[in-house]
Amino acid sequence: MPVLPVSTWIGRAPGGSWFNAAKWNSGGVPVAGTKAVFKTGHAEAVDLTPLAGGSAAEAGEAAITGDAVTFAGGTLLLAPPFPARGLPVALLIGGGGSVTIAADASLTAQGEVLATGGTLSPSLVINGALTDIQGGIEGTGANAAVVSGHAAHWSNTQDLFIGGGSLSVLAGGTVDGGPQAFTTGSSNIEVGNGLGYGRVLVRGAGSLLSATQVDIGTGYSGHMTICCGAHVVDNFGAAGGNGDGYVTVTGAGSRWQNLGGLQIGSAVPAASWLRISNHATVTTGGVVTVAGTLALDSTATLEADTIVSLGGSVRALGYGPAGGGTVAIGATLEFGGNAGAPFELETTYLSASRTAVLALNGPVLASDPYAILQAGVGHIVLDNAGNALPAIHIYGAVLELAVTGAAGAAAISFLKGASPVLQVDAGVALPNPISGFAARDAFDLPGIAYSPDLIPGWTPALGGGTLTLDDGSHAQSLTLLGHDSAASFHAADDGHGGTLVTFVTGH
């Protein structure tokens, strides 16, 4: 990289025009091929309005390491010479420096804009327009970038890296990869890279963050919040692509739109999560891969073609205040995917708050014979006859089978938990073997009308038998393992006109 002649802002003359030679040292007003340096240690207002008949402000590079500089009134072009390798830094903000681009100003950097940390926060404020090839909010200290207002626009034609710093997009501001972001494949936003923890806040109606790929947690930890009607749009999104990523989408009108797929965590176990709440929406045009936690409250919407769980959790109202409501995932839930691996890595944990409903209306598929679908807590509904499941474990949930075939060919097991219930709806045939039924467990049979005369029937077989409930109009049969007598079962009113069957201890 060639060493450029330096023009240093000295700020002694009155007025703040870029074109006032008295404001600069012996290097004079910067021109193409020179480096503009600001390090007076004061707040400086620099007017970029061109002189009559003159051209726009220009320099090869700019470094702000001691001033709080506000550019206003015009355009500044930074065009550093390109080195043989790598990308030149066109604008460096570090030390005690900060840059503000006013709403009536624009800055074009034909290289990288790099804020490396310092004592001032925020170190980069964009109220006007900033265009560069690559951006970086990196390092340590009070290091932040703010893009605020409807006139604010930060365009990175390649990548934007945020590690050891933060980015806030507020009040209608826009950060994007330029008009070719979704076609070049090179405009990515990485938050929480190897240089440290990164944070992104996109807040307010009209605020937009868009790129080819938005990756939260890449080699380190990253956090993104989309709230209050803001939007994030990408071809592919990740919460924890190669690190720990945490994404919150909350508030009416807030949306994370993934034109392709979405990844939550990259390995099991994964701390990464995506939380959707308060009428917010997340959409995908491809596969959602869950190795961490996917959590929705009762008002949230997730639109996806396929959800693939590699041992992650899918939760409805699994966090925050408990409440009622229904969350419906009308998509495919696929889990497993590592045939031959220990089954702990093949387990999907489904849960809802105890008063909420998680409805899986699309097919639930296991991609290998070691997979287990675990029903944790809350009310979980399987409502698709095309489900393909090798095993189901019920811990503390109400697991409702709404149609014949909803359990696939799965062996169903009750495990020690908080009063698990298997609800078999009216007309649903369930030939699947059921094991582990014991004290505090229950079958809820809404299609069998309860009466005091209803007595469970039992047909013994090797290792178990068939439990039958018949109200005279409808009958329900269940295949149980490990029981040998009708006296082991007690029938009662389920409170909704159906029949609740529990285990009688001592039999």
Question: What distance, in Å, lies between the first and last C-alpha atoms of the chain?
Answer: 85
- Of the candidates 233, 243, 236, the one whose C-alpha atom is nearest the C-alpha of residue 162 is 243
Q: What is the pTM of this model?
A: 0.84
Distance set, CA 68 to CA 72, 227, 230 (Å) = 13, 30, 29
Which pLDDT does position 119 carry in this prediction?
Answer: 55
Which pLDDT does position 85 carry in this prediction?
Answer: 64
The DSSP secondary-structure symbol of 355 reads: T
Q: Which is more confidently placed, 251 or 347?
A: 251
- Report the share of the chain in percent with pLDDT over 70: 88
Which pLDDT does position 185 carry in this prediction?
Answer: 54
Number of residues that this document lists for the chain: 507
Q: In whole angstroms, what is the distance from residue 374 CA to residue 173 CA?
A: 43
Distance set, CA 47 to CA 50, 57, 76 (Å) = 9, 10, 10
Specify which residues 276 forms β-bridges with. 249, 296
Residue 322, pLDDT above cutoff 50 = no
- Report the share of the chain in percent with pLDDT over 90: 55
Residue whose tokens read 């939550």: 264
Q: Where residue 363 falls among pLDDT bands split at 50, 70, 90? A: confident
Output the CA torsion sign for 134, 272, 283, 248: negative
Per-chain mean pLDDT for the chain: 86
Which pLDDT does position 254 carry in this prediction?
Answer: 97
Q: Where residue 351 falls among pLDDT bands split at 50, 70, 90? A: confident
Q: Where residue 338 falls among pLDDT bands split at 50, 70, 90? A: very low
Residue 301, pLDDT above cutoff 90 = no
Q: What is the pLDDT of residues 164-207, one digit of tens each?
A: 889 999 999 999 986 655 555 568 999 998 778 899 999 999 99
Q: In whole angstroms, what is the distance from residue 400 CA to residue 416 CA?
A: 18
Residue 439, pLDDT above cutoff 60 = yes
Residue 83, pLDDT above cutoff 80 = no
- What is the residue-wise DSSP string for 127-181? SSEEEEEEEEEESSSS-EEEEESTT-EEEESS-EEEESEEEEEETT-EEE--TTH
Which pLDDT does position 337 carry in this prediction?
Answer: 45
Those residues with Cβ within 8 angstroms of residue 444's Cβ, 6 or more apart along the chain or in another chain: 398, 421, 422, 423, 424, 494, 498, 499, 500, 501
Residue 140, pLDDT above cutoff 70 = no
What mean pLDDT comes out for the span 126-132? 95
Which pLDDT does position 343 carry in this prediction?
Answer: 32
Residue 127, pLDDT above cutoff 80 = yes
What are the domain boundaries of the chain? 1-137, 451-507
Residue 286, pLDDT above cutoff 60 = yes
Residue whose tokens read 């990196």: 138
